[in-house]
Structures are given as C-alpha cells and as structure tokens.
Structure 1
Amino acid sequence: MGEALGHLKPELLWKHFEEICKRPHPSRHEQLVAKYVVDFAKQNNLECATDSFGNIVVRKPATPGKENLTSVVMQGHLDMVPEKNADVAHNFEKDPIQCYADGDWVKAKGTTLGSDNGIGAAAALAVLESKDVEHGPIEALFTLDEETGLNGAQALQAGFVNADILMNLDSEEDGALYIGCSGGQSTTVKFKYELKDVPEKTAAYDISITGLKGGHSGLDIHLGKGNAIKLMVRLLHELNYNYGVRLVSISGGSKHNAIPRESFATIRVPKKSADDVLGYVEHYNTIVKAELASVEPTLVVACAASKSKSKVMDKTTSKNIIDSLYAVPNGVIKMSADIEGLVETSTNLAVVVTNKKAVEVILSQRSSVESEKIDISNSIAALFKLAKAEVLQGDGYPGWKPDIHSPVLAVMKKVFHEKYGKEPEVKAIHAGLECGIIKERYPHMDMISFGPTIFGAHSPDERVQISTVEKFWENLVAALKNIPVK
C-alpha cells in the first residue's frame, strides 16, 4: 500500500488512487496513467484494448454463476485539471500529486487533487483486481482529455465497448444518483462594422458594470444572477432610444461557459444630452441594484467622461448590435417536467469583444433534450441574422435525457434503501457529462452516474471525503452483485 493513504479503507481503491497520484496526468498528458492501466490489465491477465485516441477498455469475465447477468461497463476519465496556488512550485507534467489524509478528507498540498476523476478510475481498477466482488460480465472504460472538452468520449466509436449498462463514476455528491445531463452548443456571432468619423457636438463616455458574482453558465443559470452584458445592453438600448448613441466599443465576459461578471462600453452621445445621460445612468444603477439586491449586493453601474478620440461604429451596425443583444433570450428557457428543480434548457450570453473591424459575440446553449437545444440555438441564430450578423453554430455535444424508469436506477435505489433505510436523491445536472456523448454512440445503454463527496474540484481546495468514498465503494459493489439477468 501507499505511504500516505495506506491506512484508508477500502484498501484496493486507495492503493490505486495513490498510484494514480504518483503519475502526472493533466489533460492531454495522461500517458503515464494510461500505461499504468494497461500494465495493470496485463499483470492481472485481463483483456485490454486501446482506441486511436488513447481511450482504454479492460474486460473481466463474470464471477462463476453470474454469467447471465446484464453486462456492465464502469466508466471514468484519467485526466485532471491542473491548478495550483501561486506560491506553490509544481510542474503538473512532471511532478506527482502530494496527497495526504486530514481527518475525514484527502487533500493535496497546494494543488488540485485529481479526485475528479481519479477516485472513479481507482474504484474501477479495484473492482477489476478484487477477488471478492461478485459481478456479471464487466468492462472498465477509461477516457482521456475529458476536462478540456469531453474529447476522449467524443472520439469513441461504436463497438469499442460491449456492455448494456454504464455506471459513470464521475459524480461528486454522496447520496445522489444522476440520471441525466445537458448537452451543449456554442453560437458565435460577428458584426462587421465601418468606422466613421466622430460626429460633431458629441461627448464620449465610458460605462462600466462591475461587482457581479458570475458563475457557471449551466449549474448557476437558474439562480437569478446578473449577466453583465445583458445589463449593459439594456442600458444602451434605453440611452439610444432616448438620446441617440454611437458605439465606440463594447466588451464583457471572458469564458464561453461562465455568466459574465463585468461589461464595459465606450459611447458617444450628443453634448446637449450629456447631463441627461449621466442622470439616467445614475437612475438605472438604482433600479438594477434594487432588482438584484438579494443576489448581487455589490453591483455597480458607473459612467464617466472618456478620453477616447476613437472613431465610432456606423449607425446601422451600432443599433443592430445593441438591439439584438438586448433582444436575445438569456437564462432559463424551460424547466424539466420529470425532475423537480432541474433546468432542462437554457442559454447564456457569455462573451462580447470589440476587434478592429468587428464585434464578436459568444453564446452557449444547453439542454438535456437534443431537439430543444437545436431549437433554441436556431432561434438565436435567426435573431442575429435579422440583425445582419454572421452566425456560426458549433457542433456541440449531446445531452443525456433523464429516464426515471431506468432499470439500473431501480437497482441502485433498492441497494441504497436496503443499506441506509432511506431513498437516494435522484438528480440530473445542467452541465455536460461524458454520458451524453456515450449515449449517442451507444443508444441502447442504460446509464447512471454516482460518486463520493468532492468539494472544490478544479481548484487547489479540492478534497474528497473519506467516509463517503467507503459508501461509494459499498454501493458500487452491491449494485454489481444485484444487476438483473439479461
């Protein structure tokens, strides 16, 4: 057993997790961990195959007497997000993760831990190695490069795995069973503009919207947080309608999958209306601060005279940008009728940037229903085309539609109730999981996702709760034993 975690139970799982931690494995640099999995399969006389992308499948025959059970594939990804504190010297491509136990938690020293998804991969390896776990025909699928775009799953081809049930081991909440996730798609918009001389008798102003919390554009989209770009164009629309506005520049947001926290614009307005513009911005600041007081207490809308001498965008394009960004839907489009509290479909106005000859916009659409994702994306594209913009719709990735009648869900609920005397939480997540892509490749598969409690994933604060890892293992083992006959 390992030196740092050797005292933890279950021993096989923690042994493999510590071995994974010893081998650098940030996204796109998983070679050493992949070799560990392949070598493990050879040492244990297990069938093993690798596809052209580097994904690995390992197969183990059924426990004697359980050959007729429905086949199961356990699935997780081998890469981790490489994040460290500023004062930590760590090369993620060369250095091992320094994991350690602290009370009921396993942590890393100043870096991400990689429990997302090293714990899931370790659990699959432990099942493959164990002589005590009872199961039907099983496989373990280890994908690569999940964290940068679900790329390993995207590369999967039909026939690489053979099982009829998939257990995704990449969830992060003890006591929860996940049965669905959203698919995603990006829409990129480009407004080409002509530069015009500064109109006579105009004044330049810089407007800023700051102090918003931001958040994940899927997981946080239903929380009513302010979208800085939407707040900006709402203001610009009113200023343009009442006083006439010419855009010099507009920007906001930085990531396609985040709710934008800040937005900035430089505009020109008639000098005769300057005081009215300043007064309206002050009034608008009061309005939106009141609207969002409970969720965005530090929001500030500010306007100040600008030193900009830059030319302005042509009048038509300036108006088209403001009007279309104001009109475009944003936030929750539809809630699920099957899973209480689940956002089924949403869209997020994520990024706006002004370049020399164009304003570019990025929006992201999500849905657990593929047809709804396509519909909202097409609707947004149609709106921007009316505004004379160029529109590029990304290929995206599919969602995983919840099935509350799933046979493997019934097995897991029964196991949970028998072990703990209560029902598990059955959930879906409004974010992407590999399950959606795998379901597209293998439509017949019944699926479920579960895992132990992990906090702070993707950050140096990442930690996994030891007591829930043991429960996670017990649930996995019991479920494999109770899979129905095919």
Structure 2
Amino acid sequence: MAYENLQPKEVFHFFEELCNIPHGSGNLQKISDYLVSFAKDRNLEVIQDSELNVIIKAPGSRGYEDKEPVILQGHMDMVAVKEDSCDIDMLTEGLRCKTDGEYVWAEGTSLGGDDGIAVAYCLALLDSKEIPHPPLEVVITTNEETGMFGASAIDLSSLKGKKMINIDNEEEGAFITSCAGGARVYSDFSFEKENKTGVLYEVKVDGLLGGHSGEMIKCGRGNANHILARTLLNAMDAAEISLVSIEGGVADNAIPSGAVAKVVVPAENVVDFKESVEQTLEEVKGELEVKDPNVNITCTEAGAEDNYSCARFEDGRMIVSAIISLPDGVQAMSAAVEGLVETSLNLGIIKTEDSSVTLEHSVRSSVESSKNMLIKKVATIVTTFGGTYSVSGQYPGWKYRQHSELRDHMVKVYEEMYGKSPRLMAIHAGLECGLLSEKIKGLDCISIGPDMQDIHSTKEKLSVKSAGNVWEYLKAVLK
C-alpha cells in the first residue's frame, strides 16, 4: 500500500481503497456497489438509485442523537486521463498510487482527488466509533464530471438535513459560497468519403498543461483541439490534404492537452505540408511561450503512398474551419468580482466515428443570459458550417446566500482553530450545490476541500498536510 504510513491514516486508507477501483465517469458500477457494501457491513441505512447515486445515513454519536442532521456531499466519479506511455486500462484497473510524504499522486494517470478525497472523508467518518458528530446524511453522486447527471436525477426527499457541506473544492482555507452554471453542447459534422492517393501522416499536438476548464481557463493555456484544427487548416492552404480522422481530449470539462489527426497528403505536396506544420508550431510556441511553453506539434508518416478512404477535401476543410471559428476560453470577466471569470467555454473532446466528427463543449457562466447567448453563438456557427447540435446537462448556478448559519458557524470554527479568517469566494467552476439546492428548499451550503494541483490531468497532486488539516477542521465543525 503506497499510502499506508500517511496521516490521517483512516482517510488515506479509504482513499487508497477507492483508487484501487476503476471509477472514471460512466464506469461507476463497481465503486457504487463498494459504497453500498460499506454501508451494509456497518448496518447503516443506504439507498442506491438507478443512476448509481448512493445515500448513506448514520445516527448521531452519543450525546448528538437529537442534533440537526448535516448533509455531507461529494461525487464518486473522476476524470480518468493517462499519459500516452501509460499501460493502465482505466476501465478495468486501479491506479498506481505514489507518495513522497508531501504529496500523493498516481503514476501515469490522473489521481481522482477530485472528488475521491470527499468520499474518503465521508467513509472515515462513517466508519469511526470515536468521532463525535450529529446525524449524518452522506450524498455521493455520479457522473458529476460529465454533466452532473447524478445530481440532476437524485431523489433527496428522504433527507431531513437543511445544512450541507460540499467537499469538492481544491483550496484549503477558501470557502466557496457560489458558482457558475453550465451546459454541454454536442455538435456533429457529417462528411462524404472518397478514396485519395497519397502518403498517410499523423499530425499530433501534445506537451500542453491541460487542466480543469473552470478553474484553469483563466490561465490561457493552449487547447490542443483548437491548435490541431489550426494546424490542419494551415496545411490545407498549403496543399490539398484530406482528413481521415481527428481525435482529441478526454472530457469536455478538461482543457485538452493532446490531440491527433490522420491525413492523406499527395506525394508531391509532402514538403509543403511539413513546412506548414513547422510554421504553425513556430507561431503557436511564440503565442504560448509563457502560458503553455512545452507545446509541440509533430507530423509522422503513418503509411506509405497508397489509396486511402478519407473525407472529401471540401468536407474536411469545412470541419476544421468550423472548429477554429468557434470561440474558446474566457469570453467575459466579472465586473462585480475582481479576477473572476464570468463566461467561458472549452472544446474538450473531438472524435471521429465512421462519417462524422463530433465536438463536445463545456459552457459556463455565472450570468444565465450570457450562458444561453454563448450556447446560441456556438449553435449558430455550427449550423452555418452545415453541422447539427444538441444541448444537455444544463445545471443552474449556485447563488450567494446573504444569511447563512452554516457559513457563520464554519467561519467561527476556522478562526478559532487558525487565528485567521477563511477566504470566502465565488468560482467559475460548476458545483452540484445549485442543483441540490433546487431539490431541498432552504438548503444552506458551503464547499470546502484540501489543496490539490492540476486536477483532471496526469500531473494531479493532493497535499498530504492539507488533507490532514481539512480532516481536523471537518471534525471540529461537526463537533
């Protein structure tokens, strides 16, 4: 066990148990069943619904039986990404956990600290017979990372609590009190196929930092999908290359760090094609020199001169033209909160299947009308270029609560423990608090969590010390 000597031992025990179970979004049966078994083994009331959401209820500890219940909430799914060289099958295998005593991470893959640490905290609390706490209602949702589908579907009518601590924050000492709303936009471009004679090349964009498309979008990091489309369009201006396939990204709410396309290049145009790719790389490197300095674009021969099935040149050009015409990144900053992104979008996924290319965007805004207008802008561009679109996974923003007993209590406990005030903040990322607040009238909630770095990427790390600090703080709040 990689984490067996870390403190708090009980938290990292369960965190590693979770890491041993594959739990990328959409692959949650095993981890959901694990949570149900955990509850049944301890004679706790448990509900598992058709979306695999799990609710576990525990009575208050001795002396706390008649206290008001507290809801603890997180999500069980993770953004499952891995490095190209990593041989783990994230659908069937657990993570290779590593630690240096200061941080924990997973070798070659994302860690899933978002939101595995929340689940670990909850399990450690439910497992303990020593920690004083009021009645607990633990809500662990599914597929948060791909559209908050679990939170949208969950039935919370059996809950009695009106105060909820969401543990889906990545900064210790920062209490999230409101967040943006969002939606997923799916676009599809069909193309006609033809056989073209030429050399098959693979064009690859990699080396980018990636990261969470809510929290990191303000950093201006490169989007591999957009860079690849730009590279291809420039190459199409230099030579009549034909698109075979284009793929990029792993989740619509993760800034894509890599993307790859296969193209057919007429033998007489190979030199022009390569020069165009090199020129695009030079331009992009200059633009991202500070924000994303390790960007790389390569073109590698993937097949000798032959006949290949590919998209008609006109169709392929139309598709990459549509991609680079679509907006990307920050669209507006908040005038009310300094440094807060108000509206953004991220082209997280491109994939090719048979005779169509599909795009998946994550759209976010703290202003509902701006979110809707940005969706309309994407839809207009897509249809103008001959594509079709659909919208799903819409979730509301979480509005700041002027009067909050929970916030007042948590601030007081924090000040008593640390001699300073926590930072109250709004974020551009989406949290489930907005959706769950619609299901429980008058719900009072705050979001907290330990320090994490580069979530949704293979560079993800969780601070051991911070995880311990938040554990002690959470216990003090419940006491």
Q: Which moved more, 1:183-192 or 1:55-64?
A: 55-64
Summarize the Cα distance change of 1:357–1:341 in structure 2 as closer, same or farther, 3 Å threshold. Answer: same
Unaligned runs of 5+ in 2: 23-27
1:286 corresponding residue in structure 2: 282
Q: 1:226 aligns with which of 222, 227, 244?
A: 222
CA contact (8 A) 1:197 1:312 kept: yes
1:28 corresponding residue in structure 2: 29
The residue type equivalent to 2:121 in the other structure is G
CA contact (8 A) 2:178 2:400 kept: yes
Q: 2:400 aligns with which of 387, 398, 403?
A: 403
CA contact (8 A) 2:59 2:65 kept: no
TM-score normalised over the length of structure 2: 0.74
CA distance, structure 1, for counterparts of residue 21 and residue 360 of structure 2? 30
Q: How does 1:424-463 map to 2 (within 5 A)?
A: 424-442=422-440, 444-453=442-451
Summarize the Cα distance change of 1:480–1:131 in structure 2 as closer, same or farther, 3 Å threshold. Answer: closer
Shift of 1:421: 2.2
TM-score normalised over the length of structure 1: 0.73
2:175 corresponding residue in structure 1: 177
Deviations 1:353-402 (A, max 9, x none): 44442233333323455554443223212211121112232x21525435
Q: How does 1:100-111 map to 2 (within 5 A)?
A: none
Summarize the Cα distance change of 1:161–1:194 in structure 2 as closer, same or farther, 3 Å threshold. Answer: same
CA distance, structure 2, for counterparts of residue 411 and residue 185 of structure 1? 33
Shift of 1:213: 0.9
Q: Which moved more, 1:368-377 or 1:109-118?
A: 109-118
CA contact (8 A) 1:17 1:122 kept: no
Query: Does residue 210 in structure 1 map to residue 205 in structure 2?
Result: yes
CA distance, structure 1, for counterparts of residue 97 and residue 352 of structure 2? 44
Summarize the Cα distance change of 1:263–1:226 in structure 2 as closer, same or farther, 3 Å threshold. Answer: farther
Cα RMSD after superposing both structures: 4.8
Q: How does 1:28-177 map to 2 (within 5 A)?
A: 28-30=29-31, 31-42=33-44, 48-53=45-50, 55-58=54-57, 60=59, 72-77=70-75, 116-122=117-123, 124-125=125-126, 129-130=129-130, 132-133=132-133, 138-143=135-140, 145=142, 149=146, 150=148, 152-177=150-175
CA contact (8 A) 2:7 2:468 kept: no
- Aligned to 1:159, the other structure's residue is in SS state coil
Shift of 1:166: 0.8
Deviations 1:287-346 (A, max 9, x none): 322222223434344568983533664465344323322211111122344544333332
Query: Does residue 390 in structure 1 map to residue 388 in structure 2?
Result: yes
1:295 corresponding residue in structure 2: 291
The residue type equivalent to 2:378 in the other structure is I
CA distance, structure 2, for counterparts of residue 363 and residue 110 of structure 1? 26
Shift of 1:223: 1.9
Unaligned runs of 5+ in 1: 43-47, 482-486
Q: What number of residue pairs does the alignment pair up?
A: 457
Q: Which has the larger radius of gyration?
A: 1
The residue type equivalent to 1:225 in the other structure is R
Shift of 1:278: 5.9
CA distance, structure 1, for counterparts of residue 246 and residue 186 of structure 2? 15
